[in-house]
């Protein structure tokens, strides 16, 4: 069940040492300052401080870095699924798409496909967006909020991997079709877009790396910097 009390977070990149030390070095610095060996251990502790066993949490993509060793990647999905509290829903990001959804489902994750969250119910969207731009529409106090890993911005230069034209076109079609007022997103890590339309929920911009609820990120939004 997804509602305003659902916890939300993105781009944890578990097992991605280069992300923790090179791309986002503040992660490793925070871990060492808190006397943890690595950011992965710190993040599991922070997650479990906020999220209880029966809570619902929405992961907006890039939970675990895809490794060339498929068996190791599947083991990581299983192990973190066991280590992290809560009922875990995941909306795939670019690093999650390399494995079939049933791998995540087997280890207790609820994989979301293009759908609308209405009165706490998940309703599949019939229109075919080719699953190239995974998203959900969350209805909140008269607004249609787009939740997607990739931000729905056709002008944003992508700094991680190729942001192909098809995704840009599809994201703008979704915004138009559903009269989207705001976009909760991941992918950009600590990079922020100067527009009230976008709400970045990457772990890198969350104070002390603690998850937030959907209600918190919508109510406390300010220039795309949460707190």
Percent of the chain scored above 90 by pLDDT?
Answer: 67
- Angle value at C-alpha 222, between 46 and 18, nearest 5 degrees: 45
**pLDDT tens-digit map of 191-225:** 887 788 999 999 999 999 999 999 999 987 644 44
Report if pTM > 0.85.
yes
Helix axes 25-33, 39-50, angle to 10 degrees: 70
Average pLDDT score over the chain: 88
Domain 7-219 of CATH type 3.30.420.130: no
> Which whole number is the average pLDDT over 172-183?
93
Kindly give the interhelix angle for 39-50 and 70-83, rounded to the nearest 10 degrees.
Answer: 40
pLDDT digits (tens, 9 = 90+) for 52-91: 999 999 999 999 987 778 899 999 999 999 999 999 999 9
Predicted local distance difference test score (pLDDT) of residue 55: 98
């Amino acid at each position: 069940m997804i509602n305003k009390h659902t916890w939300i977070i993105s781009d944890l990149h578990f097992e991605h040492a280069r992300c923790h030390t090179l791309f986002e070095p503040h992660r490793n610095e925070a871990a060492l300052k808190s006397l943890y060996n690595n950011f992965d251990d710190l993040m599991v502790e922070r997650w479990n401080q906020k999220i209880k066993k029966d809570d619902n949490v929405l992961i907006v993509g890039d939970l675990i870095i895809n490794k060339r060793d498929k068996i190791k990647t599947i083991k990581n999905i299983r192990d973190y699924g066991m280590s992290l509290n809560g009922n875990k829903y995941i909306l795939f990001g670019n690093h999650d798409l390399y494995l079939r959804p049933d791998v995540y489902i087997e280890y207790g994750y609820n994989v979301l496909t293009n759908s609308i969250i209405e009165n706490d119910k998940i309703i599949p969207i019939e229109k075919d967006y080719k699953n190239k731009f995974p998203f959900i529409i969350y209805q909140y106090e008269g607004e249609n909020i787009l939740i997607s890993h990739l931000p729905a911005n056709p002008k944003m230069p992508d700094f991680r991997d190729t942001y192909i034209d098809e995704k840009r076109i599809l994201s703008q079609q979704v915004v138009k079709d559903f009269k989207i007022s705001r976009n909760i997103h991941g992918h950009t890590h600590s990079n922020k877009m100067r527009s009230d339309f976008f709400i970045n929920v990457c772990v890198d911009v969350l104070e002390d790396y603690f998850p937030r609820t959907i209600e918190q990120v919508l109510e406390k939004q300010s220039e795309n910097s949460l707190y």
